Amino acid sequence: MEFPIQRKLFTTEDYYKMADVGILEPESRYELINGEIIKMTPIKSAHAGIVTFLLEYLIIELHKKNTIIGQNPLLLGQFSEPEPDIVVAAYRKDRYRSRHPVPSDVFLIIEVADSSLEYDRGTKKELYAESGIPECWIANIPEKQLEIFRHPAGSDYSDKEVLLQGEKATCVSASFSIEVKDLFEGI
């Protein structure tokens, strides 16, 4: 007699309780994705530098128009709370102190990917599309290109654009542009 495999999916409430009582290592970074707790990979220098550049650039470009969030939680329902590298969300004077942003707040997600490239292109992009995030960008460090996904349709996006060095990316949902070469300068 065969028994089906049963998984215990964790909720965001379970996730926070585990952190509070010390089950999750406080020095490690985790995300809750589709009910599973995922240990995040260490952040390398190129990744950190691109995130820092984007935060500085977007804060200047979108000051008081949007709230720019770096590597903080995004609540995508009862079973998912990823920590995207960058979130461009609706402007809130409280900067989301009273709650984490939810999909209806978000205009753009940017993931900076080196060793996490396939995970970001697969699981995380699917999660963002399913949640209705209008745009998802992946700064692809190995190939030094920017992958832009727009118009969520089920678990994917209907439009995909790949931009290389010398091209300019335009965010439709938050109204700004950025040179792709600036993302990968010095790498």
Report mean pLDDT in 10-residue bins for the chain, 187 residues: 83 93 88 95 95 97 95 96 98 95 98 96 98 98 98 98 97 95 95
Contact in structure between 49 and 76 (CB atoms under 8 Å): no
Q: Determine, yes or no, domain membership for 109.
A: yes
Q: Determine, yes or no, domain membership for 111.
A: yes
Q: What is the pLDDT of residue 26?
A: 80
Q: Determine, yes or no, domain membership for 6.
A: no
Q: What is the CATH number of the domain that holds 97?
A: 3.90.1570.10
Q: Determine, yes or no, domain membership for 37.
A: no
Beta strands in the chain (DSSP E): 30-33, 36-39, 66-70, 86-90, 106-113, 135-140, 145-153, 156-163, 168-171, 176-179
- Describe the chain by its helix, strand, coil percentages, rounded to 5: 25, 30, 45
Q: Which amino acid is at 145?
A: Q
Helices (H) and strands (E) in the chain, counts: 5, 10
Query: Taking the model in full, what pTM does it have?
Result: 0.94
Per DSSP, 92 falls in state: -
Q: What is the pLDDT of residue 3?
A: 76
Residue 125: CB partners within 8 Å, gap ≥ 6? 111, 136, 138, 149, 156, 157
Domain that holds residue 143: 42-184
Count Cα neighbours of 94 within 13 Å in the Cβ-side half-sphere.
6
Per-residue tokens: 174: 């938050």
CA angle 93–125–34, rounded 5-degree value: 85
Q: Determine, yes or no, domain membership for 12.
A: no
Q: What is the pLDDT of residue 62?
A: 96
d(C-alpha 78, C-alpha 138), whole Å: 25
Q: What is the pLDDT of residue 4?
A: 82
Q: Determine, yes or no, domain membership for 89.
A: yes
Q: Determine, yes or no, domain membership for 133.
A: yes
Q: What is the pLDDT of residue 6?
A: 82
Q: Determine, yes or no, domain membership for 22.
A: no
Q: What is the pLDDT of residue 2?
A: 79
Number of domains in the chain: 1
